[in-house]
Each structure stands twice: as C-alpha cells, then as structure tokens.
Structure 1
Amino acid sequence: MKAHAVAAALLTVALAATAGAVTYEVNNAASSTAGGQRFDREYGGDYAKQVLAGASSFTWSIFNQPSPADRSPVDAVILTVGDVGGIASTDRNNITLGAGYVAGITGNDFKDQVTGVLYHEVVHVWQAGLQDYGSHPWVYEGIADFVRLKAGYIAAGWAQPGQGGSWEEGYSVTARFFDYCDGSVKPGFVAGLNAKLKGGYDADYFVQITGKTLQQLWQDYKAMYGN
C-alpha cells in the first residue's frame, strides 16, 4: 500500500473523533453502463465512502480546520456515479463521477486515479468562497489540485514545478504555484487563503498573507525554477 494510502486510512480512523455528524453516501446511477459496472467491480461503494471520509479529513487538516465549527456547514457528502460527460463535477455537497471516465481509465493504478479525482472534488465541497468561482476559477481549482498534490495523487500530464505561463491557468499549474507559496514563502498559505475567500476573492489577499503581490510571487516562483 502506498504511503499516502496508509495516511488516508489513518485519517479515516481519526475521522470518528472529528467528523461530527458528517455522513458519506455513494449511489451508482449508471450501473447498467460499462463504467458503472467497473466502478462496482474494481472500486466499490464502501471503499468510496472511506475515500470521501479520508479526503474530507485531509482537506480539513490542510485548511487548518480542526473543529466542525471552522468548516463549511455540510452534514453529508454524496457521490453519484452518473452516465454523464466529463470526468467529475461538484454542486455544493453533491459529487458526480462520470461513468464514461471510469470505463476509459487505463493503467494498473485504477484506484489511485479515481481516488485522486475524488480528493479534488471533495475539496470543492469544503472550500470557502465559491460564490466567486465564475470570475476566478483558477483560484478554486488550484486549491483543489493543491490538496490532491499534498495527498500524493498526482495525475499523469500534470505540470511540473515551475511550468506554466500564468498563475491563472488553474489546476496543476496553479497548484504547483500554491505549493511554492505554502512551502517556500508562507507556511499555511493555502489555509490562510481559503479562510479569506469566505468574503470573496481579492488579489490583495496574497499581500496580506505573504507580504508580496501576486505578480511578485509568480516572478519569484518562475525564477526559482529558471523560467
């Protein structure tokens, strides 16, 4: 078992003491499709519940939210395997995993690939400030991939450290940038950013947390990797 999988299992055990009333539900609404059948056969609802719980606990630790009072007011995280296009999506506390995506996964790390997607989507359940998602999606997708990165579920094709043309590219490019901000500039940067996002997005948050503008941070990040 991979180290990050062991950590997730331990976090799941710890969940009983910290999760309060949060429940985790899994529904397969695509059981007649190849992807739905593969989900049941190779992943399973019980395992998915454990992953949702572990991902939630891990997200709370990244966001520095040890108490339920610190978190978004969610009492259930619901995963549905659906016969829909795309990989996955999240609407409030409802995550939809695309059966077509599940059917098309190749390689011998099937479970890790699905788990990485679920970690990303669980972050969207718990992160703050999603009312501004439409105007600044890169921030929210970057945070979600940052949590996935720290959990050890890096996907094939992800940007490497220092890659990317703009901090607004989102996903793995922004996640790598946030990893620099969190690890080399201000420990706890992502937790601080998520907390400030409760009031909506403002570029000045970067100055407030790190003492540097967003532009300065990006320039320093690129310079660190010779770009």
Structure 2
Amino acid sequence: MARSLLPLVLASLLALATLHETQAIEYIVENRAENTPGGVRFRDELGVDYTKQRMRDATEFIWNLFKETTAAERRDTPRISLFVEVRDGIAASSGDIIHVSAKYMEDLTAANLKKDFNWVIYHEVTHSLQRNGNGQAPTGLVEGIAEFVTLTSGFIYDGFAQPGDGNNWDEGYGVTARFLEYCNGLKDGFVAELNKKMIDGYSDDFFNQLLGKTVDQLWTDYKAKYAN
C-alpha cells in the first residue's frame, strides 16, 4: 500500500514545489555608519543576519500578495542590497539598493525599533519587486502600492494615514495605500492585478478595466464613504 502511494506523493510534492517556485535573490547588507550612534544601534539591536532574514520574509510576502507564484511572473531581481549610511531622511531605494539613514535608526524609540525598521524593509523591498509601467505610472501610485504592502503586512508607523484621508487618489504613500485598500475591498486581488497590468505601461483606465469605474469615480465614492 505504501509503495503504491509513493508515486502519487512524489508527484504532489513536485507540483507543490513548482507552484511555489523559488527565485534566487542575493541579499547584501552592510553597515556603513558603524561609528555613528545609529550605526552602533543597528549593529547591536538588529544586525546583518536579522536584516537579511526580514528582507527574505518581505520578498515572500510581496510575491504572495502580488500572486506571483512562479519566477516567470516576477520582476527579474537578482540582488537587493541594504546599506545603513550617514544620510538625510529615512530611507530611499535606487537600482535595487536600499539606503537607510543611520540618524533615523538612532532616533527610533525602543518600542518601535523593529516595527518601524520592518516598515522600511517591506516598503523598500517592494520597489525592487513591483511593476511601475516602465516608468509611466504616477509616482504617487508606485509609492502607494509600496505602502499598501506595509499596511497589509501590519508594519505601519505611528501616524499612518487613516481611511478617507487625503485630497487626491495619487497623493502617494499612506493616502494612496488607504485608497488601494478600499479598491482591494471591492475586488479581492485588485492590487495584484493592477501590478500585473503595469508590466509594460500604465493607464488610469486600468482602474475602470478592473473595477468598472474610473479612478476619479472610485476616489469620489471612497471619500464619500468616510465623509463622516
């Protein structure tokens, strides 16, 4: 009996492996601010190994959220690097390199350290995996999708935009993330489908194609829902 089931079990395992096909991404983490308070804090309270693991976790989360189960469906991203540096602001991503401010690391409270650091990781790793319509998509939408990822993951900072906030759908960041949350509620998987549509280009009409209303109509409905 056990022998007769073996081929079926092996076939099932092979199918499962194919469904969750692994795409090899190299993760590089470097502390370039070791002599600063923020760099010391990164070294002592987080570290390279922890950061690489969180980058891997973020990657898997994003692939699942975007419903990209095979390497063929995913953006080709051979390497993602993260550098802790002396720089202004919080973090930025360019060419699949994430630059994190050591001063930002220094200023985080003990209670928020890992939560806010993971917010940075999930947001910036999204930029290395998402589609942007070959640069044609509005910056606010690209940033909003990255923040939708953090919102869905639960890693959001204190003061994150509330439902109904903002003046324009493509205002970006938390405002657009909350709007996308609303759209995703109208059609589960909307953000994943929108991301797929942005492989080669971008059009506001993508919203109409997916939800049957223009993006401006959707924004009006969204604002009306939270008007009170």
- Larger Rg, first or second structure (1 or 2): 2
The one-letter code matched in structure 1 to 2:219 is W
Q: Does 1:197 align with 2:198?
A: yes
Contact kept, 8 Å, 1:130 with 1:140, in 2: the verdict is no
The match for 1:5 is none
> Hey, what does 2:182 align to over in structure 1?
180
For the pair 1:163 / 2:180, whether they are aligned, the reply is no
Confirm or deny: 8 A CA contact 1:92 1:124 kept in the other structure: no
Residue matched to 2:68: 65
Does 2:108 match 1:108? no
Q: Deviations over 1:92-151 (max 9, x none)?
A: 221111111111112512111111111000000001126426x71101000000000000
2:147 & 2:125 partners in 1: Cα distance? 11
In the alignment, the residues of structure 2 paired with residue 200 and residue 142 of structure 1 have an alpha-carbon distance, to the nearest angstrom, of 17
Q: In the TM superposition, what is the alpha-carbon distance from 1:79 to its structure 2 partner?
A: 0.9
Q: How many residues are paired up?
A: 210
Q: Mark the CA change 1:130 to 1:24 in structure 2 (over 3 Å): closer, same or farther.
A: farther
Equivalents in 1 of 2:44, 2:110: separation in Å?
A: 16
Q: Which whole-Å deviations, capped at 9, do the CAs of 1:33-62 have from their partners, x for residues lacking one?
A: 111111011111100001100001111111
CA shift at 1:159, angstroms?
Answer: 1.1
Residues in 2 aligned to 1:212 and 1:195: alpha-carbon distance in whole angstroms: 19
Q: Which runs of 5+ in 1 are unaligned?
A: 1-13
SS at match of 1:161: coil
Matched, 1:129 2:116: no
Q: Cα RMSD over matched residues?
A: 1.6
Aligned-partner SS, 1:159? coil
The answer to whether the aligner puts 1:41 opposite 2:38 as a matched pair is no
Letter of the aligned partner of 1:221 in structure 2?
Y
- Any gaps of 5 or more consecutive residues in structure 2? 1-16
Runs of 4+ in structure 1 deviating by more than 3 angstroms, as ranges, are none
Assess if the C-alpha contact under 8 Å between 1:26 and 1:49 holds in 2: yes
Alignment partner of 1:55 out of 55, 58, 64:
58
Aligned to 1:154: 156
User: 2:145 is aligned with what amino acid?
Assistant: I
